Structure 1
Amino acid sequence: MPRPGQLKSSSCERLSDRIAVGVLTRAFPPELVDEVVVQCGRVEQRHRLLPARVVVYFVLAMCLFSGQGYEEVARLLTHGLERARRWDRAWRVPTTAAIGRARLRLGPEPLKELFARVCRPVATPQTAGAWYRGRRLVAVDGTTFDLPDTEANAAFFGRPGSGRGQGRSAYPQARVALLVECGTHAVFAAATGPLTIHERSLGARLFSALQPGMLLLADRGFTGFELWRDAAATGADLLWRVRKNVVLPVVATFDDGSYLSEIVSDSDRRRRADPIPVRVIEYTLTTATDATVYRLITTLCDPTAAPATELAALYAQRWEIETTLDEIKTHQGGPGLVLRSQHPAGVEQEIYGILLVHHALRDLIHHAAHDADCDPDRLSFTRTLRVVRRHVTDQAALSPLPAHSRPHPDPA
């Protein structure tokens, strides 16, 4: 006897097997989602209206259509499916409560595993703006997400001070650290936690994703001997801005104006035990109203292989991670973004869903830029987002195709 929601023919399939997230299914094909669901132990013991695969796609759609209610997102996922074939039992849109319970059953682990499997740097050697002298440019930074004001979220994540003498912030906040490929804005490593964990500590959890051949850019918030030592131990090169009060003795000077120095642990500052050699580049950026002194330290100690003027100009690429955060929080999430999850596990699930959707969009942009032989920065993220949202509803009734045979919408 066929299960509820199945066709009665020998070639039958559940209606839920037909659900896809339009062009996003290219990045997250159903067979991969099924593998992740099995690996994380989320396979259903009985047929449900919302099996685990559907819930994964629902979370992705929820993070694509920020601001839409649960039931409306479910309608977008299944638009047209009822009329596509004759099912044994008609599809009904799950209630908000049912979707909430399904998300709770799924948990964050399948989304985190999907992120670990899919999200990688995407630039090829031909990608414009992604490289410096053969090194892949990447950046690290932290941010926060506002959360619904529930007891569970406040207890786990905490609240920031208002900074205006008015007590605590209206919203609990989750802290997130990211590694981003500068040339493509692809997020390829992430860590989440409560506000009590400093972004430096979260950032250190990402260093396992660094590799030789990368050049990691970081701002002053990531200054620290142990952090530098651990990042450099991965084999990646580093170019970090440091605060002006960091002691950097001149060991040797170079013709390009940079100089060789060394950094030591704060605990060994007097003895200067086990110093790490660094090269220092100092310069001033002057505007009509201000003059800012920049101090950079780098593992690239040969000025002939990496001239100071090139590194000073290169540091501006660190701002690509700021642009990436703006894409995620302002454009994909919407102005004044507050996540919708009421519990910490749902918050983590939602954050990884947001990052998965952003990576799929950025991978799509990279493919389009490659086909057009142009810099990915020249293609609009906002327009790509609009195109993908349209394609989700247009393609919801189509059976997912293999990744190599699905066309790319033109986001230009």
Structure 2
Amino acid sequence: MPFQQSLLDLNDLFNFADFSTFTHNIPIEWVETALQLSSQATIWRRRLPADQVLWLVLGMAMFRDEPVHEVARRLNICAQGLASNDLLARSGITEARKRLGSEPVEWLFRQTAHTWGHERYTDDDWQGLQVFAVDGALLRTPDTPELRDHFGSGNTSTKRQTPFPMMRLVALMNVRSHVVVDAQLSPYRRSEMRLADSFLAQIPDHSITLFDKGFWSAHLMLSVSQQGTERHWLTLARKNAVSEEIEQYSPTDRLVRMKVSAHARKLNPNLPETWEVREVTYTEKGKQKVVFTSLPVSAYSETSIAKLYQERWEIELGFRDIKSSMQKNAVTLRSKKVELIYQEVWGLLLAYNVIRREASQAAEAFERSPSSIRFKPVCDYIAVQLVVMAAANPISGTGRRLKELRSGIGSLFLEAKTKTRPSRPRRVKISKTRYPVDYNAAPLK
């Protein structure tokens, strides 16, 4: 049955807007604890109380192409009932979001992420190890003096600043379920490696973490492998890395010794002067690539290591799902205040994890891998549920509705023959120009 027809059939079965999916995944005790962190808690019941504002922030992530006040109206977010223009002024929504702040949303994201990110599903392990990945992404904000002053931006080749202020996002992701285990947000100028260093403790024992080559650091890699039990790492080797061969296992597999830079040892005096890593060379699409890893040669072959590193791209797909499927390829985030920008992004990550976890639970019910479910249809499907299942039959409890939800998600699996995603080269997006553009102007002759 076509996906669009499934949504129409659901519309015939249920009424409008319920948060059963969110409230099933997020225990109410967590929500209450998060709301206690609100910087401006009040003793009276407002027309738009904090618990409703929290759901509004999640709804904003699900309905990016709609104004915030329309999201509130559609999702019935108001203490006295339908949030129409007569009951809830548009300015009241902004003030309510300011009262809530970003801290409760951040706390709730971390609480859920730390719980869901370590869950195991079908086909979750790689040779007995859970697979994680670390990478960073940039999110554009609207161009206002306040946001540019706080977030900053990069410089172009002409030494001009980039068109929009940019927020830096660094995340730790479970590669198989695509759930974000932890994340850090910061202004553009902060270092990705410093941000990643703050959540290395969230990497569990008996795991392998895939790093982008931009995170190459003796401090970072040794912090992963020397803490806990069986915590390994794998990353693409940096070009022109100077090393000394200690032992050769095969022509494309060897153990090498490298010096730890004086700058790194100055930042961390506990680092040794030298360290040993395994170097594996392989060929992909006619190009030779080299990876460094802490995996021992006695238990992990060079062929399996080369194949595993291809999964590092899964975290890039996760960022694409957030920017493309959830944000509808919007040029910038929608908020225009610093605190609300952080609130919006924490809500975006929380909503993303809810979708990913619900998809993983559905995949488990069908004895399939979570990575075999297509994200965008599931995102659209759950968004519809927030509207369609509002006033469902009282005898239809959360368990039954969730079963129906996952049954629908079960039809959204990737076919086995298309599970390998096609290659999509990166493209430079259109950026803002300082000169006015007249799209209706006649072409030059």
TM-score (norm 2): 0.79
- CA distance in 2 between counterparts of 1:80 and 1:387 reads 24
Tell me: CA distance 1:304–1:294, structure 2 relative to 1, closer, same or farther (3 Å): same
Comparing 399-408 with 209-218, which one deviates more in the overlay? 399-408
TM-superposed CA distance for 1:117, in Å, is 1.1
Q: Deviations over 1:71-119 (max 9, x none)?
A: 10111111899789xxxx9995522211111111111110111011111
Query: How many pairs are equivalent?
Result: 383
What residue is the counterpart of 2:385 in the other structure? 391
What residue is the counterpart of 2:193 in the other structure? 200
Please tell me whether residue 95 in structure 1 is matched to residue 102 in structure 2: no
What residue is the counterpart of 1:371 in the other structure? 365
Q: Gaps (5+ residues) in structure 2? A: 1-15, 266-270, 413-445
Counterpart among 305, 317, 327 of residue 321 in structure 2: 327
Map 1:156-175 to 2 at 5 A. Answer: 156-163=150-157, 165=158, 167-175=160-168
Comparing 193-202 with 250-259, which one deviates more in the overlay? 250-259
Tell me: CA distance 1:364–1:256, structure 2 relative to 1, closer, same or farther (3 Å): farther
Q: Deviations over 1:44-75 (max 9, x none)?
A: 22221111101111100011111211110111
Query: Partner amino acid for 1:325?
Result: F
Please tell me whether residue 316 in structure 1 is matched to residue 310 in structure 2: yes
Tell me: CA distance 1:97–1:219, structure 2 relative to 1, closer, same or farther (3 Å): same
What residue is the counterpart of 2:337 in the other structure? 343
What residue is the counterpart of 1:15 in the other structure? none
Q: Deviations over 1:17-54 (max 9, x none)?
A: x9853422222244431222125565422221111101
- CA distance in 2 between counterparts of 1:76 and 1:396 reads 10
Please tell me whether residue 210 in structure 1 is matched to residue 208 in structure 2: no
Q: Deviations over 1:335-394 (max 9, x none)?
A: 134111112211111111000000000001101111111122221111111111111111
- CA distance in 2 between counterparts of 1:156 and 1:81 reads 34
Secondary structure at the aligned position of 1:176 is classed as strand
TM-superposed CA distance for 1:246, in Å, is 1.3
What residue is the counterpart of 1:360 in the other structure? 354
- Aligned identity (percent) is 25
Secondary structure at the aligned position of 1:305 is classed as coil
TM-superposed CA distance for 1:264, in Å, is 3.0
Please tell me whether residue 237 in structure 1 is matched to residue 240 in structure 2: no
- CA distance in 1 between counterparts of 2:389 and 2:60 reads 16
TM-superposed CA distance for 1:234, in Å, is 3.0
What residue is the counterpart of 1:63 in the other structure? 61
Secondary structure at the aligned position of 2:244 is classed as coil
Say if 2:48 and 2:78, in contact at 8 Å, map to a contact too: no
Comparing 389-398 with 198-207, which one deviates more in the overlay? 389-398
- CA distance in 1 between counterparts of 2:309 and 2:90 reads 46
TM-superposed CA distance for 1:251, in Å, is 0.6
Counterpart among 34, 43, 46 of residue 44 in structure 2: 46
- CA distance in 1 between counterparts of 2:37 and 2:397 reads 22
Map 1:262-273 to 2 at 5 A. Answer: 262-267=257-262
Q: Deviations over 1:111-133 (max 9, x none)?
A: 111011111345755522x3211
Counterpart among 282, 289, 297 of residue 294 in structure 1: 289
Please tell me whether residue 36 in structure 1 is matched to residue 34 in structure 2: yes
Query: Partner amino acid for 2:204?
Result: Q
Please tell me whether residue 144 in structure 1 is matched to residue 138 in structure 2: yes
- CA distance in 2 between counterparts of 1:239 and 1:213 reads 14
Comparing 368-377 with 73-82, which one deviates more in the overlay? 73-82
CA RMSD of aligned residues (A): 2.9
- CA distance in 2 between counterparts of 1:268 and 1:147 reads 34
TM-superposed CA distance for 1:396, in Å, is 2.9
Secondary structure at the aligned position of 2:208 is classed as strand
- CA distance in 1 between counterparts of 2:320 and 2:209 reads 20
Comparing 93-102 with 49-58, which one deviates more in the overlay? 93-102
Q: Gaps (5+ residues) in structure 1? A: 1-17
Tell me: CA distance 1:124–1:31, structure 2 relative to 1, closer, same or farther (3 Å): closer
Say if 2:245 and 2:255, in contact at 8 Å, map to a contact too: yes
TM-score (norm 1): 0.85
- CA distance in 2 between counterparts of 1:158 and 1:407 reads 43
- CA distance in 1 between counterparts of 2:73 and 2:110 reads 29
Tell me: CA distance 1:70–1:28, structure 2 relative to 1, closer, same or farther (3 Å): same
Counterpart among 180, 185, 209 of residue 187 in structure 1: 180
- CA distance in 2 between counterparts of 1:318 and 1:338 reads 26
Query: Partner amino acid for 2:173?
Result: V
Secondary structure at the aligned position of 1:279 is classed as strand
What residue is the counterpart of 2:242 in the other structure? 247
Query: Partner amino acid for 1:263?
Result: M
What residue is the counterpart of 2:274 in the other structure? 275
